[in-house]
Structure 1
Amino acid sequence: MNILFIAKYKLPHIGGVEKHLRMINEELKKKNYKITTISEEDIKPPHIKYFGLLYIWFWLFKNRELIARSNLVHIHDVFIWYLPFRLLFPFKKVYITFHGWEGKWPIPLWNIINKRVANLLCNGSIAVGKYIEKYYDIKPSFVVYGGAEFDEAHGIKYLKGKTKNSLVFLGRQDADTGINEFKEWLKIHGKHLTVKFVSNDPNPEKYLKTAEYCVPSGYLSYLESLNYGCKILTFANNPLKIDYWKEIRDIYDDKSLKSIPTWNDVCDIYIKLWRS
């Protein structure tokens, strides 16, 4: 089966969505799926409001054979890129993954409408977090949180190999990640801690193996930190992020490492969506 993924970024650009894409691609290829991924790296649009979107539409129209020869199209967040082609290819199966919120609180009305329209016009959807259902008033087909490259030794090996009072902040250092609240917390509670900020590193595992504590910026870094036996601290600056962190803590904090989904588990949800 030929799958066409459409996403804003892919590796070597570093981020949670990009890693999600890479890991799903690898698992799908093991199952003999053929994957093509289109991103800004391929299109190279000018970053000019409105004109950039028109350029993307023009590029996709010129390369519409990529859509035509795929068995299905799966979009990662950027449904507006595909909007005209939903009309041009009305019988093409189209799915979407909503990877999160856009970092703006309160959520702009346009962002809510954008997700609702995408969910309505697609044949099915995956949400990374159930909070998306609450804050965008949509009903996804499936909910995931990401995956981890599970190794049963992690729970023992890395719990014993921790550097006492070491802490790593893992991910983007933008306001929506809670970094400002974390820095305020550090002034009071962190004088005894050795802190390292890690972003734009394709292999954060080397820090998680030895860090006693981790402050993750999102669900994927949360699961990776849990997988390496880190004690996790989270920070929020609005009601959405409070719900965001509570949701994943309620699901995974009191369970064994074996309960953390692998990327093969996440891949199986994609396949289940496409077959439904």
Structure 2
Amino acid sequence: MKILMITPNFYPNIGGVEKHVLQVTNEIIKKGHQVTVLTRKYEKKLHDQETINEINIIRFPLENLLNTWKWLYKNKTLIKNSDIVHCHDYRVFVFYYLPFRILFPFKHVFITYHGFEGFVPIPRKIFLLRKLSELLTNGNICIGKYIVKWYKTKTNHISYGGVIPSKITKVSNNSFTFIGRLEKDTGILLFIKAIKLIKDKIGVNLIVDICGDGSLKDTIIKLNEENNLNIKIHGITNPDKFIDKNQFVFCTGYLGILESLIKKRLVFSVYDNPLKQDYLDSLDMTITCNSSEQLAEKIIYYVDNFDETEKKIEKGYEFAKLQTWNKLSDTYLSLWGVK
């Protein structure tokens, strides 16, 4: 079976969707299928085409939409020669693939919905574009059941991603790893306010390693200096070594949560709108709060109550260890009707 995966960015870029596509593709190749990943050339130093671990990677120029369509039309044999085309999120289908849905009307095309845009209420334009992509594809996978509720998506499968089992290290240092973008919707500012509240209330200045980057970086540096906090920003990097050395994790994304649970870490999250609450509740494996004050209280509680912490950790670990990339690759094959 020849499969064409189309994704906005791919390895070596670091991100949740990038890792999802990489790991699922690796597993599908192990099962005897050929996979080509079509993605944007987001840096000039990247090769236009290369093979990594049997994955054929083809990168198209990062240009305006019309030139992208021209490039795709020139290279339309990529689509023509594929048995399956799989788009990763609605934007890929609508803004890249849609003209070729008309050109190749009988091609089997599927989609994975990976996340949400952070807007509540959901803009009508986004809602309609998502529905368009759903109607014009042959099936889909939703990463989180909240998508079914909020976007009225009729889905074939629901998943939360996958993890690779790894060595578990035991630590008790009351320190945190933050995983995610430095943007308002990840809860970073609410988290930092909670860290400050804990420092002011009980005199404990928690160590925080931030794995991520974004528009709030300068704001966080300023808050750290003004409040004499113990925060270090490491940029966009693999968070594994920080999860290993710190006792707790703050994260609001499914993949980061799973990667923390499989290492037996207690994960805290916050929400500031009902969609994000459903996003977190549909997984139900984190300590979920709706304010900095509540988050500070929960952190203090679980630091002081070892038995309760261990119960939550074991529950999360038992769930995470079932979410393997091999299992998720079987979900993809099932969606495509491949045995």
Same fold (TM over 0.5): yes
Asked whether the 8 Å contact 2:267–2:286 carries over to 1, the reply is no
1:20 maps onto 2:20 in alignment: yes
1:273 maps onto 2:286 in alignment: no
Equivalent residue for 2:190, pick from 177, 181, 186: 181
Q: Secondary structure at the match of 2:335?
A: helix
Per-residue deviation, 1:103: 2.2
Cα separation, 2, equivalents of 1:195 and 1:251:
18
Q: Secondary structure at the match of 2:276?
A: helix
Equivalent residue for 1:166, pick from 163, 166, 175: 175
Matches within 5 A, 1:1-276: 1-41=1-41, 42-46=59-63, 52-77=64-89, 78-80=92-94, 81-151=96-166, 154=167, 157-158=168-169, 160=170, 162-189=171-198, 191-199=204-212, 201-249=236-284, 255=315, 257-260=317-320, 261-275=323-337
Per-residue deviation, 1:251: 9.8
Asked whether the 8 Å contact 1:181–1:237 carries over to 2, the reply is no
Larger deviation, residues 106-115 vs 201-210: 201-210
Opposite residue 79 of structure 1, the aligned amino acid is F
Q: Secondary structure at the match of 2:14?
A: coil
Cα separation, 1, equivalents of 2:205 and 2:327:
39
Opposite residue 196 of structure 2, the aligned amino acid is K
Q: Secondary structure at the match of 1:255?
A: helix
TM-score (structure 2 length as normaliser) = 0.74
Q: Find the structure with the greater CA-based Rg.
A: 2
Asked whether the 8 Å contact 1:104–1:176 carries over to 2, the reply is no
Cα separation, 2, equivalents of 1:242 and 1:74:
29
Opposite residue 83 of structure 2, the aligned amino acid is N
CA RMSD of aligned residues (A): 1.9
Write out the 4+ residue segments of structure 1 that deviate beyond 4 Å after TM superposition.
250-254
Asked whether the 8 Å contact 2:60–2:68 carries over to 1, the reply is yes
Cα separation, 1, equivalents of 2:8 and 2:66:
15
Shift of the 87–76 alpha-carbon distance from structure 1 to 2, 3 Å rule, reads same
Q: Secondary structure at the match of 1:197?
A: strand
TM-score (structure 1 length as normaliser) = 0.91
**Mind listing any 5+ residue stretches in structure 1 that lack a counterpart?**
47-51
Counterpart residue number, 2:299? none
Asked whether the 8 Å contact 2:268–2:286 carries over to 1, the reply is no
Cα separation, 2, equivalents of 1:118 and 1:251:
31
Opposite residue 329 of structure 2, the aligned amino acid is C
Q: Secondary structure at the match of 1:83?
A: helix
Opposite residue 174 of structure 1, the aligned amino acid is E
Per-residue deviation, 1:104: 2.4
Per-residue deviation, 1:189: 2.2
Q: Secondary structure at the match of 2:110?
A: strand
Per-residue deviation, 1:12: 1.3
Q: Secondary structure at the match of 1:21?
A: helix
Opposite residue 272 of structure 1, the aligned amino acid is S
Aligned residues: 265
Counterpart residue number, 1:49? none
Higher RCO structure (Cα 8 Å, ≥6 apart): 1
